[in-house]
Amino acid sequence: MAKQEIIDPKLVHGDPTKDFFITMLIKDITLRDAIGDLVDNSVDAIKAKVSNPDKLKGHTINIKVDGQQFSISDNGSGIEEQVARDYAFKLGKPQQHKLIEHSIGRFGIGMKRAFFKLGETISIKSKAPTSSFAITIPVSTWKKDETNWDFKFDTVKTKEKNNSSTTGTTIVISDLSDDAKENFKKAQFENELKQEIANEQILNISKGLVIKINGDTIKPPVLTLKLEKELIPAYWKHTFEHKDGKLQVEIYAGVSDQVENEGGWNIFCNDRLILSRDTSYTTGWTGQDGDGVANYHQQFWGFRGYVFFNSKKSSSLPWNTTKTGIDPDSSDYLAVRKKMIEMMKNVFLLLNRQKKEREKDNPLKSQTLNNRILKASAVSIIKVLSEKKKTEVEFQFPQVLNAVKETDLKVIRYKVPIVKFNKVKKHIRGSNPADVGSKTFDHYYENEIGN
Amino acid sequence: MAKSKEMQLRNDEMMNYMFRPAKNIERKMLCEALARLSVIADVKNYQYVGFGSVYFVDFTLFHKQLGIRKLISIEGEPDMETRVRFNKPYSCIDVIPGASNDKLPEVDWKSTKSILWVDYTHTLRGYMFKDMATFFQRAQSGSVFIISINVDLKENEVESKTTTEKINTKLNKDTEVRKRIRSSDLKKEMTKGDYYSILRNVIDTEAKEILAERNKLESKEKFDYKQIFNFLYHDGQAMLTVGGILFSTKDEEKVEQINFKNLDFIMTGESRFEIQVPNLTYREIHALDKHLPDFNINAETKEKAFNELKGVVSDDAINKYAKIYRYYPNYTESNL
């Protein structure tokens, strides 16, 4: 029967086209972010299954990428058929949907966005405690019908009793997008992917989760803080009480080894690393004139800061939708940022003293403070976090200093003919003019004045 | 030969530049107000943090008048350290060499209430907000913040420029200051008074905004800031001093009890207390003092005083003197 057109003279069309919708959805995410989103979903599924979310041993996420296909599988809780039917594949989470507590899948778009970003044919198989299903999404044919937004199961079984050791989800994506096809072949992409996922999931990996990419178990970097009797990292915590739930924040700030690309702030939201070794305006490195501290440079290579946001409701966390950064307008974060700046200022008291002690050619063996810090042992942040007794404490460091005093040294400047200089330099085996100068002076002192 | 900057100053300004009588008066007024902090907690147990330089005038005054025994001077000139230590008048003064941005965080703000006077010689600049953050994020309830900045428009400016142009040039020099200015404060035509108000508003808003961020993280007490000082004076250069008290809700009543407002020079808003120091001889001062403080209340006495000194001291100078007579400095030549 032909559909009767009812023309409402006041009607203005506002419905989206699928193509526009997809383009907007994937515009600002990278391939790696898309894969990261799928990993987050797997982590949520695994945490939903275990009794203690801090013990993830025995759980694996397996990722395979090549120029033809992408796949990810996990042995998490799986997706129940009812959840798949009503929520999981809807574009955006309906308001009444109860989110998984402490989840990192926040907006109900991560998985779908990842699908659209990666390829055109997506097949998902999932086994949950009481149901299982398989579904295939053919994006190109789905896109053509502008009126129907639904998908169809290939197979579906309900009222099952599946052993918890058999549950899990597998996603296979083929007909890869041009970008995916090209990048997935590259060794560099694979290596960067490993590094990024290892970074993002560092806390979950430390809790026993195994993530494999093309067969290799990825290893996260070791994040540390130096800790000893008189070198105590600052610790501060706070709970924001909002109408719709609590947001907890914990901060550690201190020092570790002086390595250029290891200094800065690391910010986690529900165990997921959002900002890694950040030294930008966002974390208070504003440069001389801003409201924060100086720009990051060698003097501050030793700084380490760790911020952990935790909330039962992932929507309370101050991150952006792509989980690649902090939401700069979050009022909670802005207050925390000011606190981070104050905590940095205290750590800088030590870093400034260390710099002062290195100045004026002070030999390393005389640098009492620097040696103390150098010898202090670096402890993994995972270990620091697991401490049962946590009390707020300000940054403390050894009150020693052995800097060269202004009055201890005198600078001598004079000019000599270059020919004579070269002869002396060779004779005394000096490496540079300063060295030649001090050696000749020492020679005179020894012979004419004596020790 | 080019005239030195001092030489270019007018004769009486030159005198002021040497003796800084207005600054002297301001210091005494601050001290009188600070003495009242004892309503909250014994002021002698406060700590004072300032920039003592080699003179330590404020340190000496606050130690003698208020009994403060914990005094910290931040010394920003590395070459001056030895001289500064030599000039330190009391053993209870602790000199910390280094820039205020780096060194104020070293001060222990937690275990005692503080009076911080950041007496800068510059115009308002971005780095000063960092010092404000250190104080307002950390200081205890009952602490006092005071900031002095140069607000002179003469310096390095082309004479032909209008006041509005000069103000805009000054304000555009520092992006951190510029972005904190309310657009409603920037009028098409501005006077010097408007300029001072803009800077006062920037400082006032900054203090309150830092506290708003701090309050989000405080579970027990909420902090507020109330301005009590807004001085303007010229000792050769125009200087603005703004300051106020930081307090938490639990001390709100005590702050009310202090009743700062019954001191004439207390200014809680945009209007300023201008310290103008007329040049008077001792005979003139003695003649005027006989009519004070009646002069300030009684119109008849006022008329009498004007008549008595007609042709000797202008009515304007008499009015200025009457505002500050209790703090007017006495200079005598002496061998110490």
Q: Where are the alpha helices (DSSP H) in A145-295?
A: 178-184, 187-200, 202-206
Chain B residue with minimal CA distance to A407? B82
Measure CB to CB from residue B174 to each of A289, A291, A342 and give the nearest one.
A289
Q: Within an 8 Å CB–CB cutoff, is residue A349 touching chain B?
A: yes
Per-residue model confidence as pLDDT tens digits over B302-325: 999 999 999 899 999 999 999 999
* A254 CB-near residues (< 8 Å, 6+ apart): A225, A226, A227, A231, A232, A233, A234, A304, A305, A347, A395
What's the whole-model pTM score? 0.82
Percent of chain A residues past pLDDT 70, beyond the cut: 95
Mean pLDDT confidence for B63-79: 93
Cis-peptide into A417, omega within 30 deg: no
Predicted confidence band of residue B250 (pLDDT cuts 50, 70, 90): very high
A339: contact with B, CB 8 A cutoff? yes
Q: Which of A106-110, A260-264, A402-406 has the lowest mean pLDDT?
A: A106-110
Residue type present at position B168: N
Our CA-based measurement puts residue B244 at a distance from the nearest CA of chain A, in whole angstroms, of 21
Position A376 scores a pLDDT of: 95
Helix (H) or strand (E) holding B208: helix B192-217
The confidence score (pLDDT) of residue A99 equals 62
Minimum CA–CA partner of A236 in chain B: B217
Write the DSSP string, A354-406.
HHHHHTTT--GGG-HHHHHHHHSPEEEHHHHHH-S----B--B------PPPG
Q: Test A332 with B127 for CB contact under 8 angstroms.
A: no
A180-207 average pLDDT score: 94
Q: Which of B176, B210, B216 lies closest to A290 in CB terms?
A: B176
What's the pLDDT score for residue B330? 80
Contact (CB<8Å) B126/A336: no
Give the pLDDT mean for A229-235: 95
Check A338 against B133: CB less than 8 A apart: yes
Query: B1: pLDDT confidence band, cut at 50, 70 and 90?
Result: very low
B6 — pLDDT class (breaks 50, 70, 90): very low
Residue A304: pLDDT above 90? yes
Q: Does the distance separating the beta carbons of B134 and A289 come in below 8 Å?
A: no
Query: CB count, 10 Å around CB of A138?
Result: 13
Per-residue pLDDT tens digits for A135-149? 999 999 998 888 888
Closest approach of A315 to chain B, Cα-based (Å):
19
Q: Is residue B3 over pLDDT 50?
A: no
Mean pLDDT throughout B174-178?
Answer: 92
Residues 6 or more apart from A350 whose CB is under 8 A from it? A255, A369, A373, A395, A397
Statement: B5-275 belongs to CATH 3.40.50.150? yes
Map residue B288 onto helix, strand or coil: helix
* Whether B88 contacts B50, CB under 8 Å: no
Residue B7 is predicted with a pLDDT of 42
Q: Could you tell me the maximum CA-CA distance found in chain A, to the nearest angstrom?
A: 118
Question: Quick check: B129 pLDDT over 50?
Answer: yes
Q: Which sequence spans correspond to the domains of chain B? A: 5-275, 282-327
Confidence (pLDDT) at B82: 85
pLDDT band at B335 (very low <50, low <70, confident <90, very high): low
Residue A3 identity: K
How far apart are alpha carbons A181 and A87 in whole angstroms? Answer: 30
Please tell me which residue of chain A has the smallest CA distance to B173: A289
| A355 close contact with B: CB closer than 8 A | no
Instruction: Please report the pLDDT score of residue A347 as a whole number.
Output: 97
The pLDDT tens digits of the residues spanning A13-28 come to 888 788 888 888 888 8
Q: Take residue A226 and report the two structure tokens written for it.
A: 């130096």
Residue A48 buriedness (CB in 10 A; 0-12 / 13-18 / 19+): middle
How does pLDDT run across A418-438, given as a tens digit for each residue? 999 999 999 988 888 888 998
Does the beta-carbon distance from A352 to B102 stay under 8 Å?
A: yes
Q: How far is B223 from chain A (nearest CA, A)?
A: 14
Test A342 with B126 for CB contact under 8 angstroms: no
Domains and CATH numbers, chain A: 18-217 (3.30.565.10), 224-386 (3.30.230), 418-449 (no CATH)
Which pLDDT score, from 0 to 100, does residue B2 have?
A: 40
Whether B77 has a pLDDT exceeding 90, the answer reads no
pLDDT of A253 strictly over 50: yes
In a 3-state reduction of DSSP, which class is residue B230?
Answer: strand
pLDDT at A63: 97
Which residues on chain A are in Cβ contact (under 8 Å) with B213? 334-335, 338
